[in-house]
C-alpha cells in the first residue's frame, strides 16, 4: 500500500502511507516521571517526618506502567509499594524490585505458595486466612508478617471492629505469624460532606488499636489514609499512608494541596484521514451523528479496544493544532471520527491529543471522565496495553 492515496469527495489527496513515520504506533501514552516524582513530594509535604509512604501501583500503576513508576517511587524515598493482587507483586519481584510490597486484596489459598516465595506481605481479613498463612509459614519454617484489615465502612473485605477481639485473641496460636500492621480503608474520605462519617470510622478504627494495645500488641504500621485522607484528614495518617490516584495527577477532590498535582499521562494519536463531506452525511455506526453543514471529518486510529471509552461518542473532544475538535459518531473498536470543520489547518499526520496539553489548552483525565460518565481511575486503567508507554523526564 506504500504511496496509495486516500481521496475525499473534494478530490484532494488526503493521506499516503509514506507521509507517516514508518512503524509509528497509532497512539502513545507519554508518562512524565518527573511529574510523578513531583506528586510524591506534594504528598510528602502533607505528612509528619516519621510517616512513611506506600505508593499504590496496582492495576499496572493505574495504567501508567508499574515497574517504571515503582522504581521512580522508591528512588524518591517511598518505602512501601501497594498492589491489589499477588500476581502483580510477583511481577514486580521478577523485575528485581526488593522493597516491601503489600497485597491490598485477599490472597487465595492457591496463591499462598507464590506469596511466600516472593516475600509479599498479605492483607488478612479473616481468621481462616491467617490459619492458612500460618500453616504455610510453618511449613517453610518462617515467621511471616501480615497486616490486619479492619472493615470500618467499606463492607467488602476485612474484619468488622466487633470481630477483631477474637482475631487478637488468636494471635498467640499463630506462632509463625507476626502482626506487622493494622489498616483500614476510608469509604467516605472523598465525599462532599462535613466529614462526620469519616471521623466516626476513624473512631472505630482507634477502638481496635486500643484493644490491641490493651493486650500488649503494638503493630509496627498503622495506616488508613489513601489520597483523599492524606489531603483532607491529617488525623488519619498514622505512620504510613497509601496514595494512589493523586500520584498520577488526578485530584481526589478539590483542595489547595491537590491543586498542586501534575498530570502524569499524556495520551496522543495521529490524524490518518481527512474527508470532505456534504451536509446530511451520517457518521459511524447507526448514524448517531449527521452533519448539519458541509464538513471536514478526520479519522483517528484509536477506539474502545485501546481504552477510548465508547461513552465519548458524540461527547468527547480532542486537541489538534492547539484547538478543540469534537468527536462525532460512535467510537468504534479501533477508530473514531472528529469534526475538523473549524480547524481548517489540520493535516494528515498531525498530532491529536486525547489527554494532555497542546498549545495553550489542556484536556485532563477528569475532563474525559466527566464526558463519558466514568471516574478518572477507570479512564486511566482502561488505556490498553497495546498503547505503548513512552517515559520522559530527567528521572528516567
Active site positions, annotated: 58, 285
Q: Could you list the beta-strand ranges (E) of 210-262.
A: 221-223, 240-241
Sign, Cα dihedral of 303, 306, 309, 315: negative
How buried is residue 197: exposed, middle or buried, by Cβ count under 10 Å (0-12/13-18/19+)?
A: middle
Helix (H, G, I), strand (E, B) or coil at 394: coil
Cα 160 from chain centroid (whole Å): 28
HSE (side-chain half, CA atoms, 13 Å) at 89: 31
Contact 108, 143 (CB under 8 A): no
Rg (CA), the chain: 25
Taking the C-alpha atoms of residue 121 and residue 144, their distance in angstroms, rounded to an integer, is 8
Contact 5, 13 (CB under 8 A): yes
Find the helix or strand (DSSP H, E) in which 41 lies.
Answer: helix 33-44
Contact 9, 231 (CB under 8 A): no
Find the helix or strand (DSSP H, E) in which 250 lies.
Answer: none
| Residue 253 DSSP symbol | S
Amino acid at each position: 500500500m506504500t504511496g496509495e492515496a486516500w481521496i475525499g469527495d473534494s478530490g484532494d489527496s488526503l493521506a499516503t502511507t509514506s507521509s507517516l513515520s514508518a512503524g509509528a504506533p497509532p497512539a502513545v501514552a507519554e508518562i512524565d516521571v518527573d511529574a510523578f516524582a513531583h506528586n510524591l513530594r506534594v504528598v510528602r509535604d502533607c505528612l509528619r517526618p516519621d510517616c512513611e509512604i506506600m505508593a499504590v501501583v496496582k492495576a499496572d500503576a493505574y495504567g501508567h506502567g508499574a515497574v517504571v513508576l515503582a522504581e521512580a517511587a522508591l528512588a524518591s524515598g517511598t518505602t512501601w509499594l501497594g498492589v491489589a493482587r499477588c500476581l502483580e507483586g510477583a511481577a514486580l519481584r521478577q523485575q528485581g524490585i526488593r522493597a516491601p510490597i503489600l497485597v491490598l486484596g485477599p490472597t487465595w489459598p492457591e496463591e499462598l505458595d507464590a506469596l511466600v516465595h516472593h516475600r509479599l506481605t498479605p492483607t488478612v481479613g479473616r481468621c481462616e486466612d491467617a490459619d492458612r498463612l500460618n500453616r504455610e509459614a510453618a511449613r517453610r519454617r518462617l515467621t511471616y508478617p501480615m497486616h490486619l484489615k479492619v472493615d470500618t465502612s467499606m463492607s467488602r473485605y476485612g474484619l468488622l471492629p466487633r470481630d477483631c477481639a477474637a482475631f487478637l485473641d488468636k494471635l498467640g496460636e499463630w506462632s509463625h505469624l507476626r502482626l506487622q500492621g493494622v489498616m483500614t480503608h476510608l469509604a467516605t474520605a472523598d465525599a462532599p460532606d462535613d466529614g462526620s462519617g469519616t471521623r466516626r470510622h476513624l473512631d472505630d478504627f482507634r477502638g481496635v488499636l486500643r484493644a490491641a494495645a490493651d493486650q500488649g500488641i503494638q503493630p509496627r504500621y498503622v495506616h488508613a489514609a489513601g489520597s483523599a485522607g492524606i489531603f483532607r484528614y491529617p488525623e488519619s495518617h498514622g505512620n504510613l499512608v497509601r496514595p494512589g490516584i493523586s500520584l498520577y495527577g488526578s485530584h481526589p477532590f478539590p483542595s489547595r494541596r491537590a491543586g498542586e498535582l501534575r498530570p502524569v499521562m499524556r495520551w496522543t494519536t495521529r490524524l490518518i484521514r481527512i474527508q470532505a463531506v456534504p451536509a446530511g452525511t451520517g457518521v459511524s455506526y447507526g448514524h448517531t451523528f449527521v452533519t448539519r453543514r458541509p464538513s471536514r471529518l478526520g479519522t483517528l486510529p484509536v477506539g474502545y479496544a485501546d481504552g477510548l471509552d465508547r461513552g465519548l461518542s458524540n461527547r468527547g473532544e480532542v486537541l489538534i493544532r492547539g484547538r478543540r475538535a469534537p468527536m462525532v459518531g460512535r467510537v468504534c473498536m479501533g477508530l473514531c471520527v472528529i469534526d475538523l470543520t473549524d480547524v481548517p489547518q489540520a493535516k494528515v499526520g498531525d498530532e491529536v491529543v486525547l489527554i494532555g496539553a497542546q498549545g495553550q489548552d489542556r484536556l485532563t483525565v477528569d475532563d474525559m471522565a466527566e464526558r463519558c460518565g466514568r471516574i478518572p481511575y477507570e479512564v486511566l486503567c482502561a488505556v490498553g496495553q497495546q498503547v505503548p508507554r513512552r517515559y520522559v523526564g530527567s528521572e528516567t
